[in-house]
């Protein structure tokens, strides 16, 4: 299996770097690190990422709006919401808008990779 293009979207530099370091490099190639929804939409088009990790609370454009716009722009994009437990209701809204998974912060490297594997299960690369 070749690597899938992964776009990491989070307003926290610490979380972006953690996901970048933790993602299984045999499966995922991190092609972009965005700090808000506006930047993420631009990067989605320029990188052609097929997998996205998405924070919900961000400046300029939040995760729910970004998920909705990404799905309209590129419907086959697999989006994993990565957010705090306090955002569960918002996470459900993001799932209704087209996200396909939810991972609570804080998370371990193993939890991240399991969630990403479930997200892309069945996809041909």
**pLDDT, tens only, 100-116:** 999 999 999 999 999 99
Residue 74 CB neighbour total at 10 angstroms: 15
**Residue 1: what pLDDT?**
54
More confident residue, 35 or 88: 35
- Whether this model's pTM surpasses 0.85: yes
* pLDDT confidence of residue 124: 58
Which pLDDT score, from 0 to 100, does residue 122 have?
73
**Residue 125 binned pLDDT confidence (cut-offs 50, 70, 90):** low
């Amino acid at each position: 299996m070749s690597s899938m293009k992964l776009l990491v979207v989070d307003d926290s530099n610490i979380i972006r770097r953690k996901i970048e370091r933790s993602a299984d490099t045999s499966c995922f190639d991190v092609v972009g690190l965005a700090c808000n929804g506006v930047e993420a939409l631009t990067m989605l088009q320029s990188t052609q990422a097929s997998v996205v990790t998405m924070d919900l609370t961000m400046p300029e454009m939040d995760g729910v709006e970004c998920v909705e716009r990404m799905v309209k722009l590129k419907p086959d994009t697999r989006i994993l919401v990565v957010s705090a437990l306090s955002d569960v209701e918002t996470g459900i809204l993001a799932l209704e808008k087209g996200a396909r998974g939810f991972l609570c912060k804080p998370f371990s490297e193993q939890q991240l990779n399991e969630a990403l594997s479930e997200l892309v299960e069945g996809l041909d690369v």
